[in-house]
């Protein structure tokens, strides 16, 4: 492989949504540098961070209808059985909810956790509390998708946070979506909740790091066992 090919493979693709923000950071760096040289380098560091924030790396997704895959990179912040938000129209029975918290350094591309048809998309205005708080699921601004999968309806909720002020979703109700397929992102840092149908078992533990499009959050097959973990 050529040197140029090696460099190209080492670079992480940037999502087009980030181009304008990278340009804004770069121009601001030039203007600040005109005022005082050190500000230019600070601005360039922030520009590099902005490019890193909007990275969109390829992922190797397990294709199995018995798996529910993480929709985002981040830390597993909640694993609990709760009643889903009313706007999902998933009923009043408690469902397994697994939350993935994204900080400002995580990749923020959101991916479908299962294969199926998007039966419902609902946007709800709300507050901008710390997305790590449990009440953020009910109080914060959010965008919700319901995907009709082979094992039942799966709810995916994009939740805004303290810094995140913009939820993007380019999927549409009525469309078919594949497991791991990109459907949105949140600027800048937040959380995704996944509501899993009855019969699913969590395959992750609180505090674990998840990789969007790759990590199995829950599963339906005979190997479904809540993992025993050790933190060290």
Q: Which residues are catalytic?
A: 190
Beta-carbon count within 10 A of 164 CB: 23
The beta strand positions in 37-174, using DSSP E, are 67-69, 74-82, 95-102, 109-111, 116-124, 142-149, 152-159, 166-169
Nearest-angstrom CA–CA distance, 143 and 203:
25
The alpha carbon of residue 154 and the mean position of all alpha carbons in its chain are separated, in whole angstroms, by 15
Beta bridge partners of 101: 75, 191
Q: Six-digit token pair at 70? A: 């993480």
Q: What's the rounded Cα separation, in Å, for the pair 40 and 43? A: 5
The pairing of beta strand 190-196 with beta strand 152-159: antiparallel
């Amino acid at each position: 492989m050529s040197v140029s090919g090696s460099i190209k493979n080492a670079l992480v693709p940037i999502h087009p949504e980030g181009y304008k923000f990278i340009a804004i950071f770069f121009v601001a760096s030039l203007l600040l540098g005109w005022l005082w040289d050190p500000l230019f380098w600070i601005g360039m560091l922030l520009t590099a961070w902005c490019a890193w924030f909007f990275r969109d790396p390829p992922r190797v997704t397990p294709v199995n209808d018995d798996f529910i895959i993480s929709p985002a990179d981040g830390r597993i912040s909640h694993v609990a059985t709760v009643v889903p938000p009313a706007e999902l129209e998933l009923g009043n029975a408690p469902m397994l909810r697994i939350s993935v918290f994204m900080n400002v350094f995580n990749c923020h591309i959101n991916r479908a956790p299962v294969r199926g048809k998007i039966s419902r998309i609902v946007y709800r205005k709300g507050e901008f509390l710390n997305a790590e708080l449990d009440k953020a699921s009910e109080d914060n601004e959010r965008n919700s998708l319901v995907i009709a999968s082979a094992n039942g309806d799966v709810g995916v909720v994009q939740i805004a946070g303290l810094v995140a002020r913009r939820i993007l979703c380019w999927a549409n109700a009525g469309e078919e979506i594949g497991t791991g397929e990109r459907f949105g992102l949140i600027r800048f840092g937040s959380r995704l909740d996944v509501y899993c149908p009855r019969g699913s078992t969590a395959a992750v533990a609180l505090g674990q790091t998840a990789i969007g499009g790759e990590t199995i959050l829950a599963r339906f097959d005979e190997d479904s066992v809540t993992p025993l973990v050790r933190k060290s």
